[in-house]
Amino acid sequence: MNLLIGQRMALPEGQQKSILSFSFKALGLVDISAFALSDNDKLVSEDYMIFYNQPSSPCQSIKLTNYQQTNNATSADFLCNLAQVPSNVASIYFVISSDNLLSQVQSMNFSLSAQGGEAINADYKPSDFGQTQATMLIQLYKKNNQWRVSNVAQGFNGGLPDVVRHFGGEVADTPPAPAPVAPTPKLSLEKIINEKAPSLINLAKKATVSLEKNQLLGVKANVALVLDASGSMNNQYSRGIVQEVVNRLVPLAVNFDADMSIDCWAFGDQTQYLGEVNLNNYSDFIDTSKGGWRAWRLGSRVNNEPDAIRQVVKHYTSMGLSLPAYVLFISDGGVHDNSGITKAIVDSCKLPIFWQFVGLGGNGYGILKRLDTMQGRFIDNCNFFELDNLHQVSEEQLYDMMLSEFPQYIKEARKLSLIR
C-alpha cells in the first residue's frame, strides 16, 4: 500500500497494539531521528529524541535497531511497540536531516509493517524536498484512541537543530530557529482526491478558495458534522439532500481537517456516533453507515439538540483538544429546548469548539436564531444561517457562509489561550 505525501490513514485494527517495524532507505547520506511528542506537539522530554547516539526511549517502546551509512547510501530501522508507548505520547515524528540540501538525495523510501499485515510504503524523489536540509517525514499519531500514520514531508530550511527547537528541545550555542517551511500539500491533495474521489476535485478547489479568502489556509482543525435525524427530516434523507451536505463538506475537510476526515453524529431523542467520513466512504455514507439512516439507533425521532451537543463535547474532551474543532450542525427546526441548548453552548465556550448551525428547509429554529445575543459566554463560539433549499446558493457561497465567523473565532480563541 502506497501512502502519498499529504495522505493519512488509520492503522489496521490488528496493528493498533502490535510491534511496528519502520524501515528507511536513501540513496544519499542522511541522518534519521524519531521524536516522541506530547499532545502540545513538544518533546515528552529530551530523552524521547531517538537517534544513533540515543537509540532507545526511556520506556524502551521506541528503538533505533539499525543505522548504517555505506557507499553513499543510508539505511535505518526502528521498532515501535504500540502496546507499551506511554499514554502521554500523542505522536511520533520520523525526521530526516542532512548537512546538504535534501534535494541532492537521489531517492528515498520509508516502509511501515507489522507481523502478518500489509506494508505501508512511501516513496520520495528529490523535488519533494526543495531547498530544505531537514524534513518531518512520517508521523505516527493518535486520534480517537486509534493510531494513525501520516506522510507529512514538511521541510525546514535549517538542519536538525531547527527541528529540535521546533519540538521544544535545546540546542547549545546556536541562533534561534526559523519557522518551518510552509508545506505545499495543494498538488498532493488534488492528487489524492483525483485518485480516490475525482468527482470532488472542483468542489475541493472551491473550498480552498474560500479558505484562502477567509485566511484559514494555515489553520488546522478537527471537522465534525451533526445531523438532525428527527422524523421531519425523512424527506431530506430520502431525496438525498443530507448526502449532498456530506459531499459538500468532505472537500472542506480534506483542505481543513487535520486528518482529512469528518467525525459524524446523528441525533433524535438520543445521539449516535456514526464514525468518520472520508474520501473512501463519503459517496454513500448516509445509506451505509451503521446500517443506513433508517437503522440508526436514536430512540424516538424527535429533537434533542442538547444531548447531541454534549456528546460532541464529550468526544473531543476525551481525546484531548490539541486542535480546535469546527462543528457543522444541521437541523430543519422544531427546536423547543431553548434553555438546554443555551446551557450546552455556554458550557462549551470554555473549550476550543466552534458551532456552525445551519437551518435546512424547515422552520421553528428557536434559540438558534438568537445566538448572537446569547448571554453567559466569554467568547462568541457559534453562528447560524438558514437555507430553504441547499441548491439556492452556489458551492462558493455555501463555503463562504460556513466559514464567515470562524476566522474571528480563531483570532479571539488565540487571544484567550483557548488554542495555540
Please list, in sequence order, all residues whose beta carbon lies within 8 angstroms of the beta carbon of residue 198, skipping any fewer than 6 positions away.
Answer: none
List, for residues 150-164, the tens digit of each pLDDT value.
888 888 767 788 888
Q: Do 263 and 325 sit in the same domain of this protein?
A: yes
* C-alpha span between 221 and 232 (Å, rounded): 31
Q: Do 264 and 178 sit in the same domain of this protein?
A: no
Give the residue from 153, 183, 213 where a domain finishes.
Answer: 183
Q: 9 with 120: CB under 8 angstroms?
A: yes
pLDDT of 313 higher than 90: yes
pLDDT of 183 higher than 50: no
pLDDT of 142 higher than 50: yes
Q: What is the mean pLDDT of the chain?
A: 87
| Residue at 2 is within a domain | no
Q: Do 226 and 158 sit in the same domain of this protein?
A: no
| 370 confidence band (pLDDT: 50, 70, 90) | confident
Burial (Cβ within 10 Å: 0-12, 13-18, ≥19) of residue 408: middle
pLDDT of 344 higher than 80: yes
pLDDT of 254 higher than 80: no
- Positive or negative, the CA dihedral 390, 393, 398, 404 is negative
Q: How many CA atoms lie within 13 Å of 241's alpha carbon, on the beta-carbon side?
A: 22
Q: Do 157 and 210 sit in the same domain of this protein?
A: no
| Residue at 420 is within a domain | no
* C-alpha span between 289 and 144 (Å, rounded): 18
* pTM, to two decimals: 0.68
Give the residue from 121, 153, 183 where a domain finishes.
Answer: 183
The β-bridge relationship of strands 221-228 and 257-267 is parallel
Q: Do 134 and 195 sit in the same domain of this protein?
A: no
pLDDT of 188 higher than 70: no
The whole-number pLDDT of residue 217 equals: 77
| Residue at 1 is within a domain | no
Number of structural domains, the chain?
Answer: 2
Q: Do 152 and 285 sit in the same domain of this protein?
A: no
The whole-number pLDDT of residue 342 equals: 93
Strands in 210-294 per DSSP E: 221-228, 257-267, 271-277
Average pLDDT rounded to a whole number, residues 115-140? 86
Q: Do 62 and 154 sit in the same domain of this protein?
A: yes
Average pLDDT rounded to a whole number, residues 197-210? 86
| 186 confidence band (pLDDT: 50, 70, 90) | very low
CATH code for the domain in which residue 377 is found: 3.40.50.410
Q: Do 411 and 363 sit in the same domain of this protein?
A: yes
The whole-number pLDDT of residue 349 equals: 92
| Residue at 170 is within a domain | yes
pLDDT of 194 higher than 80: no
* C-alpha span between 59 and 232 (Å, rounded): 54
Q: Do 304 and 392 sit in the same domain of this protein?
A: yes
Q: Do 279 and 152 sit in the same domain of this protein?
A: no
Q: Do 44 and 97 sit in the same domain of this protein?
A: yes
| Residue at 3 is within a domain | no
Give the residue from 183, 199, 230 where a domain finishes.
Answer: 183
Strand partners, 112: 22, 120
Average pLDDT rounded to a whole number, residues 129-146? 86
**DSSP-assigned states of every residue in 86-118:** -TT--EEEEEEE-SS-GGG---EEEEEEETTS-
Q: Can you give the residue range of the structural domain that contains 112?
A: 8-183
| 189 confidence band (pLDDT: 50, 70, 90) | low
Q: Do 336 and 244 sit in the same domain of this protein?
A: yes
Strand partners, 37: 43, 91
